[in-house]
Amino acid sequence: MSAISQTTKERILIIEDEDEIATLIQHNFEREGFAVSVVSDGDSAPAAIRDQHPDLVLLDLMLPGLSGLDICRIVKSDDETKSIPIIMLTAKGEESDIVAGLELGADDYISKPFSPRVLLARAHACLRRAKIVVPDKEQVITVGALMIHPGRHVASVDEQPVDLTLTEFRILHLLARKPGWVFTRYQIVDSVHGENHPVTDRSVDVQIVSLRRKLGESGALIETVRGVGYRFSN
């Protein structure tokens, strides 16, 4: 057992109706030192999540009863459970469901058939991200040569101010506050909606291009997640 596993006490909830897959996942995670429980139908899942409040949910999208997307929607709309990270287990060809799940707040996905080792690695990464303390909205963020001062609405690179529009600054601050988190274009739109510089989902790409250009080498911190949106490198 690895050093990481020996100190890990995280609780994993598997929501999967295929017994062989659920058993395989459970065996591999228990071997790594996780406490694991299994739910085999969608209708029982929301109550199990509320009662157990696991550190991570592995959620199959195709379930009897409530679908995985329905469960994701319920979990992420409940203040008591919305912070629980979710990794979706998907079948090939479910791209639209993957995007929908990520837009609902799921943190990652892995397609079947998958390697247990890859799933474990994704789970460890997801749990690490969940432990990151999100900076206060007014806290100065410094990453390499880039500095973001939200209170003054100022960004600088190598101590030189960067001339950003209000919308560009809001997008940059949104991404930088949660490094490693993937934001869909719609989530980015929602964060700046109603201001004097309206943004549409398509124009988000234009704003990102402009941001990267203005930030120079620091623009590489803004990464594209194909088919989903953007994230700030951590």
Q: How confident is the model over 116-146, as pLDDT tens digits? A: 999 999 899 888 877 765 555 568 899 999 9
pLDDT digits (tens, 9 = 90+) for 155-169: 999 999 999 888 889
Q: What is the 3-state secondary structure (H, E, C) of 3-19?
A: HHHHCCCCEEEEECCCH
pTM higher than 0.75: no
∠ CA 36-42-44, rounded to 5°: 70
Query: Distance between the two ends of the chain, CA-based, in angstroms?
Result: 27
Cα separation, 234 vs 114, in Å, equals 26
Q: Are 219 and 211 in contact (CB under 8 A)?
A: yes
CATH architecture designation of domain 141-232: Orthogonal Bundle (1.10)
Ranges in the chain annotated CATH 1.10.10.10: 141-232
Contacts 24+ apart (CB under 8 A), 147-156: 148/172, 148/173, 148/176, 155/215
Cα separation, 57 vs 64, in Å, equals 17
- According to the model, what pLDDT value does residue 128 have? 82
- Identify residue 40 by its one-letter amino acid code: S
More confident residue, 94 or 231: 231
Q: Which CATH class is domain 3-130?
A: alpha beta
Ranges in the chain annotated CATH 3.40.50.2300: 3-130
pLDDT digits (tens, 9 = 90+) for 15-63: 999 999 999 999 999 999 999 999 999 999 999 999 999 999 999 999 9
pLDDT digits (tens, 9 = 90+) for 169-197: 989 999 998 888 888 887 888 776 544 44
